[in-house]
Structure 1
Amino acid sequence: MIGIKEREFREFADYIKTNYGIHFKDEKKTLIEGRLGQVLANLNLASLTEYMDYVAADQSGQAADLMLDKITTNHTFFMREPAHFEYFRETVLPYLIRAVRDRDLRIWSAACSSGEEPYTLAMILDEFFGPHKTGWDTKILATDISQGILAAAQAGVYSREKMEGLPESWKRRYFKEDRAGQYLLAEKIRKEVIFSRINLMDPVFPFRKKMHVIFCRNVMIYFDQETKDRLAERFYEITEPGGFLFIGHSEGLDREKTRYRYVMPAVYRKE
């Protein structure tokens, strides 16, 4: 394994924090060595500094995508933190049906990883509206920083292990199992999710209208407090009055700073 000098690691960590918000503490140096060592070896690069220069020089963006894939954790599964989905179905959707006069639901799954979260929301919406969906725009925006993971999400193919949290009725209704034991999501659900690359550290989010619901779960655990506070404020600014923010159960907003109102564990509302 290629060793990383302390100075190199700090430069790398600062670069990642500035551009992507991810905060690597000093004890993560060994983790970065493990995750990037083989990449450096494959490229015949002798140091992390050479690798950073290589990534910066690659105008295609593919090198940066590979780097992000290696250093980030894309662990997720269907129905993760199920209380959130129950609240979304039982409380949020009935409110939105009454409140959204133009029938344009704007739901954002930020840092969607391999797609389980937005597809779960799409299945809930399909079941909730049933035959009464005519006239409603229920498409979900799903974004991530990694082009590679977005491509996997768009494919809508999942292993049997990934399917364990789903109700059997959903497996039968929305998926088709192939001979290899892989499950392909139905096209009508895949078409309900729009995937796009967005870096949460971008200075401006490319939205013309505000969101009714934002899911940004298990992402801010990788940010320091200042970055969390700043991102929460940006979310607040693009949330419709009465709209909701869902974060991960291992996360929390500073209630002394945020303008969101606490609703229940990891759920907040703009009033």
Structure 2
Amino acid sequence: MSQLLARPENADDDHLSLRDFTRIADLIGAEIGIKLPPAKRLMIEGRLRKRVRALGLGSLDHYSAYLFKSDGLKAEWPHLINAVTTNKTDFFREPEHFELLERKLVPALLDLRRGEQKPLLKVWSAASSTGAEVYTLAMVLADLVAQRHDFRFAILGTDISTAVLAEGERAVYPADLVTPVPPAKAQRYLMHARKPGARPEVRIVPELRRLVHFARLNLMDQTYPFDRDVDVIFLRNVLIYFDKADQEKVILRLVDHLRPGGYLLLGHSESMIGTAVTMRQVAPAVFQKG
């Protein structure tokens, strides 16, 4: 772009045309499965105004022209995904799943592999966002390893958004975000700055960071380039953004990566009812592969 375009006097008056919103919504739905109904239009406009400013464009009309008329879509695609995806996440969200993992799922998995010497449990957070779920899993499993001494673990976190993956790899979080972490775990696994700033932050200890790997993945891809002997997959609170047909396809692909006896955990607001997946339900939103 050769020059900075004039910006509207009131950015709140700058809106996407219905045609441009529909084009963006259709593109996002087709490529990454997330449905953007008309009710999301104002939210998307607010997020895309940041991209308008970052690119030095004058308006959302200019941004749409850049995407669809000026061959800007390829360069802008990762930023567009980052802008439209919702990345709500918390440490120890839906805590009963982590209690179940510790009390029942890990012991059951290790019983299936009792002939192995310190088997490696592979756990996958398939919509990892900024890493809160990944590091919650790491804390729970590290405590269990310290108690049992009879297994090892590795955790994979994947997401479509490069921005949240970078945050996960950095593993630095606002102090108020980690308040759900139990005190004993917080003492073991969180580092505090010697001189906290105006907005205190914490960082996950390197001992846990070494056991975690992040990678970009579009759940709409036809194949996933990851191991097919995963023990536990968390896919929580993301299927609600997909239609039923895409939900089923994603679940089928993920289940194909579970070892026999492995577990798939969904969000409590989600369900496998109506899918072609046949798995045994062992707890609310928890399913075991036969």
Same fold (TM over 0.5): yes
Report how far residue 137 of structure 1 moved.
Answer: 4.0
Where 2:129 maps in the other structure, the secondary structure is coil
Contact 2:268–2:285 (8 Å) recurs in 1: yes
Residue 149 (1) aligns with residue 168 (2): no
- Cross-structure match for 1:96: 109
Provide the alpha-carbon RMSD of the alignment.
1.9
Report how far residue 256 of structure 1 moved.
Answer: 5.5
Amino acid at match of 2:205: A
User: Of 53, 61, 64, which aligns to 1:49?
Assistant: 64
Instruction: Within 5 Å, give how 1:136-215 maps onto structure 2.
Output: 136-178=151-193, 179-180=195-196, 181-215=200-234
Q: Could you tell me how far apart the structure 2 residues matched to 1:132 and 1:168 are?
A: 21
Identity of aligned residues (%): 34
Instruction: Within 5 Å, give how 1:70-81 maps onto structure 2.
Output: 70-81=83-94
Where 1:148 maps in the other structure, the secondary structure is helix
Q: Could you tell me how far apart the structure 2 residues matched to 1:131 and 1:87 are?
A: 16
Where 2:120 maps in the other structure, the secondary structure is coil
Contact 2:32–2:219 (8 Å) recurs in 1: yes
- Cross-structure match for 1:220: 239
The worse-fitting range, judged by mean Cα deviation, of 37-46 and 232-241 is 37-46
Cα deviation, 1:15-67, whole Å, max 9, x if unaligned, reads 10111110111222222112112322442165253242354232xxxx32222
Q: Could you tell me how far apart the structure 2 residues matched to 1:252 and 1:139 are?
A: 27
Q: Could you tell me how far apart the structure 2 residues matched to 1:138 and 1:256 are?
A: 30
The worse-fitting range, judged by mean Cα deviation, of 176-185 and 140-149 is 176-185
Tell me, which stretches of 5 or more residues in structure 1 are unaligned?
none
Residue 250 (1) aligns with residue 269 (2): yes
Q: Could you tell me how far apart the structure 1 residues matched to 2:147 and 2:90 are?
A: 28
Q: Pick the structure with greater CA Rg.
A: 2
Report how far residue 116 of structure 1 moved.
Answer: 1.0
Residue 85 (1) aligns with residue 98 (2): yes
Residue 29 (1) aligns with residue 44 (2): no
Q: Could you tell me how far apart the structure 2 residues matched to 1:111 and 1:55 are?
A: 27
Residue 111 (1) aligns with residue 127 (2): yes
Contact 1:229–1:254 (8 Å) recurs in 2: no
Q: Could you tell me how far apart the structure 1 residues matched to 2:275 and 2:239 are?
A: 17
Amino acid at match of 2:45: E
Report how far residue 131 of structure 1 moved.
Answer: 6.8
Amino acid at match of 2:141: L
Report how far residue 255 of structure 1 moved.
Answer: 4.5
Contact 1:236–1:260 (8 Å) recurs in 2: no
Amino acid at match of 2:165: L
Residues 177 and 256 of structure 1: CA distance in aligned 2, closer, same or farther (over 3 Å)? closer
Where 1:105 maps in the other structure, the secondary structure is strand
Cα deviation, 1:150-192, whole Å, max 9, x if unaligned, reads 1111111121211110111111111121122311211001111
Report how far residue 203 of structure 1 moved.
Answer: 1.4
Cα deviation, 1:107-150, whole Å, max 9, x if unaligned, reads 1111111111111111111111117547x441101111111111
Q: How many residues align?
A: 266
User: Of 61, 67, 78, which aligns to 1:65?
Assistant: 78
